[in-house]
Structure 1
Amino acid sequence: MTITRRHALLLGAALSVSLLATACGSSGDGGSGAAATQGASTDDLQAALDAGGSITVWAWEPTLKKVVADFQTKYPKVKVNLVNAGTGNDQYTALQNAVKAGSGVPDVAQIEYYALPQFALGKAVADLTAFGADKLDGTFTPGPWGAVHSGSGIYGLPMDSGPMALFYNKDVFDKHKIEVPATWDEYIAAAKKLHDADPKAYITNDTGDAGFTTSMIWQAGGKPYQVDGTKVSVNFADTGTQKFTSAWQQLVSGKLVAPVSSWSDAWYKGLGDGSIATLVIGAWMPANLETGVKAGAGKWRVAPMPQWESGGKATSENGGSSLAVPEAAAGKKLAYAFAKYASVDEGAQARVDGGAFPATKAQLESPAFRDKKFAYFGDQQINQVLAESASQVVPGWSYLPYQVYANSVFNDTVGKAYISGTTLQDGLKAWQDASVKYGQEQGFTVR
């Protein structure tokens, strides 16, 4: 989805303006807003399912269509209205508008991990510990489980995950006798060797992407964001950030990355013809390659994410979504029951069968999942690599409680490093300054 800068700025402002305000709960029956405070036991949730009712789910993820059908078959008295209110930022704008208006709020909303803190701090989504979400500790892999926490609260159930790995074109590597890089130093060396051998070929593409940059800093052990309620610090001078910038700057300055934007027609073409030889990206990527890069069938493979230190075993997350229950939802009990069904119970397997990458340990550790062969990847059992990555995500990462806005100004700051003499480190300092200024304007205590 293409998001204009104006749209993103308006979204960031709309969300952050209400961050420090308390969202109003709705009144209604036993499944209403009061349930978030009073809580609901397993028996209460089952009773709500048996009694039935109607809930509205806002989500764009395609595998949920099958989940909804299965859920309604199991609980025939429950009607689920699945609505695509827009992808990502479009839905967040609609959700925030509904919350402000006090009407039209869905009972369940898909919210990406990076955006969830904004809704949690603004009390726009309910703390699910009241429904027993805390008892799911150990059910999910560390990255997604950590992402749905804010303070002592749990504000969503992980729906999928994006542990990072190295996707590479084996045909290109074999042609130029390039070994699969195990470290970032080896990756840089491979970039130079490839581009020297074929000036039209690049190790990867990059024109500046906030999600990729923060994921790389995360893997390097960086923790530029520290969040304690409305107290926030932003510091891109930490060691982890500098590890990333010192390495990636070599690729940018050496013109060793293709100046092609991800998800563009040129990007798909490059992935198909071998002129873009690798992607360092989340585990949700295989289905996109299979459907969007048919010319690459049989050529691509998956390897562990290159490491900052030889022998290391550190990864990070890139992407992924949760299912949250808005505080103003009219049917919280049914909403939570559906979210749990979709993310933990039978729906979790249905989504994996539909091509989603799981956040649940049960699916990740299943032999059927790990041993599946993918014809597109030369019959490689790629899930073994991806599941291992999920277990190696560096803990302790935090996003800003206004990350949506911060990401919207990434190209105005860090993005300049790709089109001018600005360095990545200087660009990150500018991004830091912009994030600090904006946070202070919104009422946060920021340093």
Structure 2
Amino acid sequence: MSSSRKPTSRSLRRTAVAATSAALAGVLLAACGSGGTSGSGSTQSGPVHIKVWAWYPQFKQVVAEFNKTHKDVQVDWVQAGVGQDEYTKLKTALKAGQGAPDVVMLEFQELPTIQLSKGLLDMGKYGANADKGNYVDWAWKQASDGDHVYAIPVDGGPMAMMYRTDLFKKYHLKVPTTWAEYKEEAAKLHKADPKAYMTDFGSDETAAGWRQGLMWQAGSRPYTYSASKLPDIGVKLNDAGAKKVYDYWGDLVKNKLVDTQSYATTDFYNGLSTGKYATYIAAGWGPGYLSSVAAKTSGKWAVAPLPQWYAGDNAQGDWGGSSFSVTSQTKHPKEATEVARELFGTSQAAWKIGIDQAYLFPLVKPVLNGAYFQDKKYDFFGGQQINKVFVPAANGIGTFDWSPFQDYAYNTDTSEVGKALQGKSDWSAVNDNVQSQVTSYAAKQGFKVSK
């Protein structure tokens, strides 16, 4: 799941970036020093109560299912905010040394930042490594560092192309299998109807993960990072894959073949529901999002694999994804780890809620590859079994590292994309400008950067 499913305030993200910048250098010094100590559970009568922060839809039912099936451990759920709202509260509590929950929902890109502050418990000490084989490889590697387990994956966002079948039929468009074909069909559509676009190019901060997902598919690997190798980090935000993506989309923008509305805005929602956009390059959680904001178009959409850069390839990218971590402030590490592992885990009951009501995309293999998920038909997509497209995409995603200054990197990327959109800089310069600023920032925080 991505916090960008709901509007994210730019000011909140920038405030978070500033706060992180002010504290990161000191945190890095501490992280490079001796390891932190983990708490131990206190003896008490009755079940242990574990406080959980999370913002999953329909999560109350998931908590009720867990509490019904666990006698010795009970979950007390708090909705502490969505995305940056929650992260800001968590960072404040960790800095203060009190007030953090036992278990917290974190998106994958946030894990290195929180882990760097010694804010996360190593669940590997409490049996979490036993779950390694249950999860898709790329997600488990983002949640762990060797035998150190800092998160349990929950859901992800493998990418695919949703398209309006009625518009494709009306304008005699071919379902593209490559990005070259996608551009050709975009030109055909816009020529037939100058008010229609193949899609919207996500240029604002809520779409930063979308742009990163497309670069991921193109082979970009901007970071080489492991907490065990601090202060070393590799940063290459202007590699060939990243440049390929902005050269391509920049060309579509300049030729007015795609729109440039900010995501999570009324204009964007209207574009999806009025036929202004013929496709939506979306994540595995996108079906729920689309059926909500464009409900009146039910039955007019279908899902196809993400177009490839080279015909016949199977390159994939991810947009969004979340996990459960145990914070270093817990007094019940064993029980908190159990909660993180089993709230969703392999629970068929919890995942039925997650799939049917919350539109979560599972990363746990018994559910991901199971018949219930793969064979599920979606009325909004004309009865299509859309997960037969998304599941192979999820299983085909390659490994990817995030950085402990991801907010700053996303903010910088968004700023440079904005300049290109306004004609203040060339699209070919975006990646180089981002690389220069982010490596400079990282070095000032005390990281030893290799480019």
1:60 has 2:55 as partner: yes
**Residue deviations 1:103-136, cap 9 Å, x none?**
1110000000111111122221112211222222
C-alpha spacing 1:267/1:4, structure 2 compared with 1 (3 Å): closer
| Alpha-carbon distance, 1:8 to partner | 1.9
Match of 1:431 in 2: 434
2:208 to 210, 218, 235: 210
Match of 1:11 in 2: 16
Partners of 1:150 and 1:264 in 2: how far apart?
Answer: 38
| 1:201 and 1:275 in contact (8 A); partners too | yes
| Alpha-carbon distance, 1:4 to partner | 4.2
Match of 2:3 in 1: none
SS in 1 for 2:188: helix
1:303 has 2:287 as partner: no
| 1:272 and 1:293 in contact (8 A); partners too | yes
Match of 1:223 in 2: 221
Q: How does 1:24-423 map to 2 (within 5 A)?
A: 25=37, 27=39, 29-30=41-42, 52-150=47-145, 152-208=147-203, 209-228=207-226, 229-346=230-347, 347-354=350-357, 355-395=359-399, 397-423=400-426
| 1:58 and 1:109 in contact (8 A); partners too | yes
**Residue deviations 1:36-79, cap 9 Å, x none?**
xxxxxxxxxxxx9x952111101111232111101111124533
| Alpha-carbon distance, 1:218 to partner | 0.8
Partners of 1:310 and 1:265 in 2: how far apart?
Answer: 36
Match of 1:44 in 2: none
SS in 1 for 2:320: coil
1:442 to 418, 441, 445: 445
Query: Match for 1:223: what amino acid?
Result: R
| Alpha-carbon distance, 1:399 to partner | 1.3
Q: TM-score, normalised by structure 1?
A: 0.91
Root-mean-square deviation (CA, aligned residues, Å) is 2.0
Query: Match for 1:157: what amino acid?
Result: I
Query: Match for 2:217: what amino acid?
Result: Q
Alignment gaps of 5+ in structure 1 = 32-47
Stretch of structure 1 that moved more, 331-340 or 95-104: 331-340
Identity of aligned residues (%): 36
| Alpha-carbon distance, 1:152 to partner | 4.7
SS in 2 for 1:275: coil
Q: TM-score, normalised by structure 2?
A: 0.90
Partners of 1:389 and 1:337 in 2: how far apart?
Answer: 30
Partners of 1:172 and 1:102 in 2: how far apart?
Answer: 56
Stretch of structure 1 that moved more, 317-326 or 420-429: 420-429
**Residue deviations 1:318-375, cap 9 Å, x none?**
1010100011112222211111112313234442243311111111211121111111
